[in-house]
Structure 1
C-alpha cells in the first residue's frame, strides 16, 4: 500500500516557564525560519452580544502602540527592523499574535519587543481604528446591505441564536458602541497568564530564545480569566434553505452538514469522505459534476472543527440556468455514498490523499501550531498517530455508515447567494426532500 510509507514528525518539546506558562518548541531541521506565537484562549464565542466583534477590534487596537513604542509608526518600525512578518488573527475560539522571520544570532531580541507589544498596549487612536474596522465590515456587504460571506451565512443557518452565527468583525452598531473601557476590561479579563500558550518553531539553535522568553514572560502574574458561560449549541433540524439576494448571473452554493469535531472518533471518516468527494480531479464531485456534466468550474468540500462541534461543507458556484441540473446531481452523489460500493482503487486513493494532508500539516509548522494550541486549550491530546492509524485501517463499511448518518435531509442546510427567485428556495427544499 502506498500510504504505508507516510511518516509523521509530530513531536514537539514542552517547557514550563517560572510562572507556569507553557511553551511548546517545534524543531525544524535544516530550516532557518523562526516563528514565535502567543495564543490566547478567547474569541467570538466569549463575546456578549452587545459587544459583538470586540475580540477582533481588540486585536486591531493592539497594533496602535505600546509603552516603549507609543504609536503605530514607532511600533511597526521596531518590528520591521527584524525583516520578518508581524501579524495576528482572531477566530471564534482563539486569538493568535505572531512574529516570523529568519533566525540570526541576535534575533532573540524580538522577545523584548513582543512582550512590550502584548502586555503594554496603549489603545491610542481608537476612533481611527474604529473607522478601519467599519470599512472592513462594509467590504463584506453588497449594495443591498447583505453579508455575502457564505461561511457566516451557513453557520447562521445552522445555529441562528449562537455565537457562531455572528460575524468575527462584529456589526456596524456593535463596533460603533464599543468604548475604551469595554476594550480595557476585555483585555484584562482574557489576556492573562492562565489563558495563554506560547509556541516557538525553528532550528535547534533557536532554543537560545527560551531563557529570554522565560525571563520576560515570567514577569506576568498568575491570574485567572473571568468565569465564562458554557454555550450549548441547539440540535439542528433540517432541511433548511436560505437565499441571500445578490445581483449576479450565478448562485454561490454552500451546502452544510453539522458533524463532530476533530477530536471525535468519526473525524477520520470525515477526512476520507472529503477526499472521496472533492480531493483531486478524479474525486466523485469533481469528476461527475465538473468533468462529465460541465455544470461548474470548480467544486470543493471541507471539514471545519470547533471545540464542541464541526461542519462538513460543499462549496460551488453555478449559473442560475444550470442550478436545476446541478443540485440533483450533487444530492444524488451524496445519497449514493451510503449505497454504492466504494472500489478498492477509490479507497486507496482517498486514504493516500487524506494521509498526505496530515503529513503536510506536520511540516507546515504554522498550521500544526494552531492545531496543537486548539487541542491544548480544550485539554485534548494533539498527537496525530492515532488519527493516522484510523485512516489507514478505515473500512468501506465504516465510510458508508458515516455517510448514511451525515448526508440526510434532517441534517442538511443550504445557502444560496445570488439573484432573487421566488421558486429557487422551494425547488431546493423539494430536491433535498427527494434525494436525501
Structure 2
C-alpha cells in the first residue's frame, strides 16, 4: 500500500512525501490554493498572470533561462498550471537533488523580480485570442458553459482573463496578489518517488522555514443557481459545430461524487461507452465524444463534448439527451456496471506506477481537503449499485441543471430546434 507522510511546519506549510522506492525519478510539486475564482473584479486572469511572471526571474535566478537551466542541471523541466482554485508549480527532478529543486521553486515563490510584465501581457493576450473569433466573441465552449453554470460569479469567468483585464494588470496587482495568497498556510509541497520522508521534511524545513504570511482571505462561494435550462449559440467559421452539454452537479465531497465518476465512464469513457456506441458506431456522426467531471468546494458539473457536421446537430442533441434520460429512467445491468467499475478500479491500481499521479492524489488532495488513498476509492467504487447510479442520474440530469452550448457554423433555425428538443426532454424526464 502506498501512503503519504505528512509534516506541517510551524509556519503552516504542509509537506507531503510519497515514498516510491521502486522508481528512478522524483516528482516535485508545489500547490497554492489560489486560482481564477480568487481574481478580483476587473483583474480576471491575475492568478494565471502571476504564475507566468514568477518564471521571469528571481533574486537568485535573473531570468526564465536561468530558472530553466537550473532545473535542467537537476534533471528537471519546470512547468506550472493555474485552474479555477489552485496554482501548481512542478518538475521532475533527480531524487538526489530534491533539495535543490525545492530551493529553485522557493526562490520563485518568495523572491520573484516581477519583471517583464508588458511582454507577458502580450504573450497571455495572444493565448486569450485563441478563444475568440473574428468578431471578438468567445468561442471556447468551456468558458461559455462556465458563464452559464455560474453566472455573475468568478467561477464563470475565464481563468486566463479577458483582453481588457489582462491589459489592466500591473505590478501593484501582482505584488498584492502574491502577498495575499502565496502564504505557507495555503500551500502544499509534495515529493513523490524514490525518496525518504525524513530527508524531504528536513530539506523543506531548511528551505521554507523563514516563509511567513497571514491567512489568505476566504474564497467567494457560489450561492445562486439557475432554475431553467440554459442555451447559448455562438457563430464561428469552421467545418463542424462543437456541442457541449453540461449539467450542474455536486461538490467534490458530496456522497454522489463516486457515482458521478462512474456515470462519466459509462456514458463517455471509451469505446464501449453508451454515447460513443450510439453517436459514432451506430450513427457515424461523430469521431469521438468526451466526458469530464468538474468539482469544487461547493459546486460541480458533468460535461459532454463532441463535434459534428452542422446538419447532424439536431440528431446529436436528441440522441445525447435520450441516452442521459435513459440513464435516469432505467437501472444499468449488473454486467455493464461491473465492466465499468472494474475498469475504474484497475486504473486506480495502475496509478501506483506514476509518481506524478501520486503527487496529484496526495498533494493536491491535501490542498483541497480530499484525503483519500487508492484503497478507499476502490472500496467506495465497489459499493456503488445500479440504484445509486440511477438516483444520481435523476438528480444530476434534471432539466434545470442543463446547459447547452453550440459553437460553429450552425444553420438557421437550429437554435429553435434545440429549444424544442430540450423542452421535450424536460417534459419526458
Shorter-chain TM-score: what band?
over 0.9
Contact 1:157 1:413 in 2 (8 A): yes
What is aligned with 2:179? 188
Please say if 1:49 is aligned against 2:72: no
Contact 1:376 1:382 in 2 (8 A): no
Find the aligned partners of 1:132 and 1:239 in 2 and give their Cα distance: 37
Find the aligned partners of 1:238 and 1:317 in 2 and give their Cα distance: 25
Please say if 1:303 is aligned against 2:293: yes
Question: Which of 65, 80, 85 lines up with 1:73 in the alignment?
Answer: 65
Please say if 1:367 is aligned against 2:357: yes
What is aligned with 2:272? 282
Which structure 2 residue ranges, 5 or more long, are not aligned? none
| C-alpha distance 107-362 of structure 1, shift in aligned 2 (>3 A) | closer
Find the aligned partners of 1:42 and 1:325 in 2 and give their Cα distance: 41
| C-alpha distance 174-344 of structure 1, shift in aligned 2 (>3 A) | same
Find the aligned partners of 1:360 and 1:432 in 2 and give their Cα distance: 40
**Does the residue aligned with 1:242 lie in a helix, a strand or coil?**
strand
Find the aligned partners of 2:93 and 2:370 in 1 and give their Cα distance: 30
Find the aligned partners of 1:304 and 1:361 in 2 and give their Cα distance: 20
Deviation at 1:241, TM superposition (A): 1.0
Deviation at 1:20, TM superposition (A): 3.7
Find the aligned partners of 2:2 and 2:408 in 1 and give their Cα distance: 43
Question: Which of 3, 13, 27 lines up with 1:11 in the alignment?
Answer: 3
Deviation at 1:361, TM superposition (A): 4.1
Please say if 1:388 is aligned against 2:390: no
Deviation at 1:57, TM superposition (A): 0.6
Find the aligned partners of 1:286 and 1:345 in 2 and give their Cα distance: 18
Q: Deviations over 1:166-225 (max 9, x none)?
A: 11111111111111111111111111122211111111357534322211111113x223
Question: Which of 152, 161, 169 lines up with 1:161 in the alignment?
Answer: 152
Q: Deviations over 1:34-79 (max 9, x none)?
A: 1221111111111111111110111111011111222233333222
Find the aligned partners of 1:71 and 1:101 in 2 and give their Cα distance: 20
C-alpha root-mean-square deviation of aligned residues, in Å?
Answer: 2.0
Which structure 1 residue ranges, 5 or more long, are not aligned? 1-8
Find the aligned partners of 1:148 and 1:416 in 2 and give their Cα distance: 9
State which drifts further: 227-236 or 395-404.
227-236
**Does the residue aligned with 1:56 lie in a helix, a strand or coil?**
helix
Q: Deviations over 1:241-291 (max 9, x none)?
A: 111111123210100001112321101111221122122222211112211
Contact 2:27 2:359 in 1 (8 A): no
Contact 1:247 1:419 in 2 (8 A): yes
Contact 1:47 1:55 in 2 (8 A): yes
Question: Which of 174, 197, 203 lines up with 1:212 in the alignment?
Answer: 203
| Displaced runs of 4 or more, over 4 A | none
What is aligned with 1:230? 220
Find the aligned partners of 2:91 and 2:198 in 1 and give their Cα distance: 16
| C-alpha distance 202-373 of structure 1, shift in aligned 2 (>3 A) | closer
TM-score scaled by length of structure 2: 0.93
What is aligned with 1:5? none
Deviation at 1:308, TM superposition (A): 1.4
Find the aligned partners of 1:226 and 1:13 in 2 and give their Cα distance: 25
| C-alpha distance 110-329 of structure 1, shift in aligned 2 (>3 A) | closer
Find the aligned partners of 2:135 and 2:237 in 1 and give their Cα distance: 9
1:29-428 equivalent positions in 2, closer than 5 A: 29-104=21-96, 106=97, 108-205=99-196, 208-221=199-212, 223-228=213-218, 230-428=220-418
Find the aligned partners of 1:251 and 1:162 in 2 and give their Cα distance: 27
**Does the residue aligned with 1:220 lie in a helix, a strand or coil?**
coil
TM-score scaled by length of structure 1: 0.92
